[in-house]
Chains A and B, each alone.
Chain A
Amino acid sequence: MRKSLRPLAATVLIFIVAYGLAIANFPMMASTRVLGNFLTDNAYLGIAAVGMTFVIISGGIDLSVGAVIGFTGVLLAALITWFGIHPLVAFVVALGLAALFGAAMGLAIHYLEVPPFIVTLAGMFLARGAAAVITQDSVPINHEFYSFIAQLYFKLPGGGRLTFLGLLMVAIFIIGAIVAHRTRFGSYVYALGGNTTSASLMGVPVARTTVSIYVLSSVLAALAGIVFSFYTGAGQPLAAVGVELDAISAVVIGGTLLTGGYGFVLGTFVGVMLLGLVQTYIIFDGTLSSWWTKIVIGALLFLFIVLQRLVFAASAPGGKSSEKA
């Protein structure tokens, strides 16, 4: 097996072992109901994490994801409930706004030469603030289209439900994987994460690629916001606070290197599922308190970071440690 595939293999292995242990403790965890809910409950996180994977592979970071999800929810609620606009039109507006927002961040990162961390931090404040300016309260969304989508599912044997939202996430992951590994844009993203200067010398359109990456991330975050609004049936300015951290955690646990240039979209899928497993296990157990989720996720992060470090130190001998950015 190629050495570079080891982190991904480790993630998959840990997921299988963890899931096996969970089933050993609670046989019901193997039911299709739990599996179906896995996909549905984590759909918004998964969709946002696909965008985050691209950003991180390119060597950047996007802190605005959670705020964009919150803003999208509020915007949808305002458009649908206050102005009576059809949800589909509202979706187009939300996705379009997010694209502009992402483009502005990408332009700032490329042309102002500011670290993505700071630009997307400003973006996070802006999106969260804009949501709070629209409304401070939770605005309900009552539209027949929403109940229609919520009722849209395939029945699985064993009573599980494969919902439209869960399938949407799976579809986004598959499209994301194809874009990352099989298209020119995908290879540009990897090249950018490896070394921006070499990438530009090789003829990678750095400006266009950077802008596209952040547009992609913001649009997927808005899509995640749309999905999120189906769960809550409302728009709330403080919704999805900290989702960017969960998304980053899922990407790292999925074997993507935070320094950029290396990673897998499908690894992120396993990462999201692993986070979901931790949460589901804690709910099943009932005696463990919710804060164990955070501690376990932190421990998993630590484990994977050290693992990556060891694998990459072993595969690239000599002087690797000296040029950390």
Chain B
Amino acid sequence: MKGFPLSRLVNPQLIALIGVLALNWLLFPGFFRVTWQDGRLFGSVIDVLNRGAPVAILAIGMTAVIATKGVDLSVGAVMAVSGAVAATLVVSGYPMPVAVAAALAVGLLCGIWNGILVALLDIQPIIATLVLMVAGRGIAQLITEGSIVTFNDPALVFIGTGSLLGMPMPVVIAAALLVLVTLGVRRTAIGLFIEAVGVNRSAATLAGIKSRVLLMMVYALSGLCAAIAGIIVAADIRGADANNSGLWLELDAILAVVIGGTSLLGGRFSIPMSVLGALIIQAMNTGILVSGFPPEFNLVVKAGMIIAILLIQSPLAAALAARLGRRRRAEK
């Protein structure tokens, strides 16, 4: 399999992010203004980081899944389930650590369920995770009994709206998770194993990689990431909304991973680049809001961006560029 010539370009994702930010700055001159208030930073850029954190966290888990040639459609629904669990437990009087631990455990369980379907029953990932995507939101509604469970537990709310060293908590959590998972994957052989399974699962298995265990781990990680994102979103709005929490965020997470340059066909992957992808998406969303464009343009712009990325990454564009290059040389 041919590698994607990412390393040879000067990182198109970073250029794209800078481009989007520069555009935001042109449309809204105060975009980069950051102020210190009440012991934390405020500003549009901080907002991009803060709002982008849930998708970035999802993208961390999703990158590993996609690197194994899979996909996890259930993350949005798992977010709703974990948020519902955390909120319901806190409301019934359990302390915050118990509620958060339970929510994380539920997310892990959801991930392991997906892993069982994919690794043990050999079901196509898109379909295997579709089951939980459809049923998960129903389960979340079952937990909250159809209502939006609101809470005021200061410890839990802190996860969503608090700050540490001036940075909002979601950003701190996302950054910590990014460092942890990246080190865990790259400082050990796990990253290599994930790539091997993604490129060719049977070859990897024959080479002695326990591909089933690995796949289970990867889906469990994705479930855990979804649970963390779910807790953050619930804590942010001080309530668990089973219907809307994490709705369609699985698509944003997949998009972030694709923008980050990880191939949907498995193999090569980069977790920091996926997080960068999530930030690009959020920078665009925030940019459209602060620049005064009506928010309904958001989806159209997003679609336009995907199309542009697909065109640039496609083999057709590469062939066209090569032919143009040859013709120009021939004319000389």
Contact A121-B254, Cβ < 8 Å, known A111-B316, A325-B69: yes
Asked if B121 is an interface residue, CB under 8 A from chain A, the answer is yes
B215, chain A: closest CB distance, angstroms: 11
Partner among A114, A128, A245 whose Cβ is within 8 Å of the Cβ of B134: A245
> B299 near A: Cβ within 8 Å?
yes
B209 nearest CB across to chain A (Å): 13
A123: B residues at CB distance < 8 A: 303
B124, A113: Cβ atoms under 8 Å?
A: no
Which of B139-147, B149-157, B233-241 lies on the face that meets chain A? B139-147
Closest to A125 in B: B303
**Is B183 interfacial (CB-CB < 8 Å)?**
no
CB-defined contacts of B137 to chain A, threshold 8 Å:
291, 294
Residues in B156-215 with C-beta less than 8 Å from chain A: 201-202, 205
Given contacts A119-B310, A295-B142, are A126 and B132 in contact (CB under 8 A)? Answer: no
Q: Known: A292-B138, A301-B134, A309-B122. Contact between A125 and B254, CB under 8 A?
A: no
Within 8 A of B (CB), among A24-72: 61
- Chain B hits for A115, CB < 8 A: 264-265
Flag whether B307 is at the interface (Cβ < 8 A): yes
* B255 in the interface (beta carbon within 8 A): yes
Tell me, in angstroms, the Cα distance from A115 to B188 when the chains sit together. Answer: 31
User: What residues of A have a CB within 8 angstroms of the CB of B146 in the complex?
Assistant: 289-291
Q: CB of A136 within 8 A of chain B?
A: yes
CA distance A280 to B257 in the complex (A): 40
**Shortest Cβ distance from A6 into chain B, in angstroms?**
17
- Decide yes or no whether B300 CB sits under 8 A from chain A: yes
Given the contacts A122-B306, A294-B137, A295-B135, A129 and B300 also touching, CB distance less than 8 Å: yes
Residues from chain A with a CB closer than 8 A to the CB of B62 are: none
Chain A residue contacts of B124, Cβ below 8 A: 258-259, 324-325
Chain B residues lying within 8 Å of A114, measured Cβ to Cβ, are 310, 313-314
Contact (Cβ within 8 A) B138 A293: yes
Residues of A106-149 at the interface with B, using a CB-CB cut-off of 8 Å, are: 108, 111-115, 117-119, 121-126, 128-130, 132-133, 136
Give the contacting residue for A129; candidates B130, B134, B302; CB below 8 A.
B302
Contact with A61, one of B126, B133, B303, B311 (Cβ below 8 angstroms): B126
A309 to B122, CA, bound (A): 8
Report whether A118 and B258 are in contact in the complex, using a CB–CB cutoff of 8 Å.
yes
User: How far is B135's CA from A302's CA once the two chains are assembled, in angstroms?
Assistant: 10
Q: Does B27 touch A at the CB level, under 8 Å?
A: no
Q: Mark A285-318, 1 if CB is under 8 A from B, else 0.
A: 0000111111101110110011001000100000
- Residues of chain B contacted by A133 (CB below 8 angstroms): 296-297, 300
- Check B264–A129 contact: CB distance below 8 A: no
- A322 interface contact, C-beta 8 A: yes
Known: A115-B264, A118-B264, A126-B300. A305 touches B128 (CB 8 A): yes
Complex CA gap A189/B251 in Å reads 27
A321 interface residue, CB < 8 Å from B?
A: yes
**Residues in B neighbouring A118, C-beta threshold 8 A:** 254, 258, 264, 306, 310
Q: Does B292 contact A (CB under 8 A)?
A: no
Which of the listed residues B131, B134, B255 has the most CB atoms from chain A within 10 Å of its own CB? B134
Starting from the known contacts A132-B299, A248-B130, A297-B134, 12 additional A-B residue pairs (CB-CB under 8 Å) come to: A114-B314, A115-B264, A121-B251, A125-B303, A129-B299, A129-B302, A130-B300, A249-B134, A292-B138, A297-B135, A306-B123, A313-B122
Interchain residue pairs with CB less than 8 A apart (8): A114-B314, A126-B304, A289-B146, A294-B137, A297-B135, A298-B136, A305-B131, A309-B122
| B→A interface (CB under 8 Å) | 69, 71, 117, 121-124, 126-128, 130-139, 141-142, 145-146, 201-202, 205, 242, 251, 254-255, 258, 264-265, 296-304, 306-307, 310-311, 313-316
The 9 A-B residue pairs with the shortest CB-CB distance, nearest first, are: A298-B135, A129-B299, A294-B138, A291-B141, A129-B300, A132-B296, A126-B303, A322-B202, A125-B303
